[in-house]
Amino acid sequence: MSQTFDQVFDARGLNCPMPLVNARKEIGKLEPGQILKVMATDRGSVADFQGWAKIAKNVELVAQENESIDGATVYVHFIKRTV
């Protein structure tokens, strides 16, 4: 998988609702059309980012994948700022 992205936000170690809240802030710094890669260790973030993309008008969930970094599962979300 080689999903392109413009910015990375490392939310590893953060717990609900911080990955979402901080990702929200980070995506505000992007230009419309750009993609933010969010790395999280919070398993709940998988459903959270899906829910966010469904409700909020300004984001689109491009892809989600799991990575294994140093033996820990990292949940990676690619979100695009649409507006």
Partner 1 sequence: MSAQSTIATESAELQTLREKVRDLETRLAQVEGRVAEDRVSIVVFSGDLDRVMASFVIATGAAAMGQQVSMFFTFWGLSVMKKDRQLAGKSLHQKMMTLMSPGSSRSLPVSKMNYFGVGAKMLRSMMKAKNVNSLEEMIALARELNVRMIACEMSRDVMGIRQTELLDGLECGGVATFLADSLKSRTSLFI
Is residue 82 flagged as an active site residue? no
Q: Which of 16, 21, 69, 72 is catalytic?
A: 16
Consecutive H or E run containing 59: strand 59-69
The only residue of 30, 39, 56, 61 in contact with partner 1, by rule CB under 8 A:
56
- Using CB under 8 A as the binding rule, whether residue 74 contacts partner 1 is answered as no
Stretch that binds partner 1, among 1-9, 29-37, 56-64, 74-82 (CB under 8 A): 56-64
The only residue of 7, 10, 14, 46 in contact with partner 1, by rule CB under 8 A:
14
Q: Pairing relation of β-strands 7-11 and 35-40?
A: parallel
52-62: burial string, b at 16+ Cβ within 10 Å, e else: bbeeeeebeeb
- Using CB under 8 A as the binding rule, whether residue 9 contacts partner 1 is answered as no
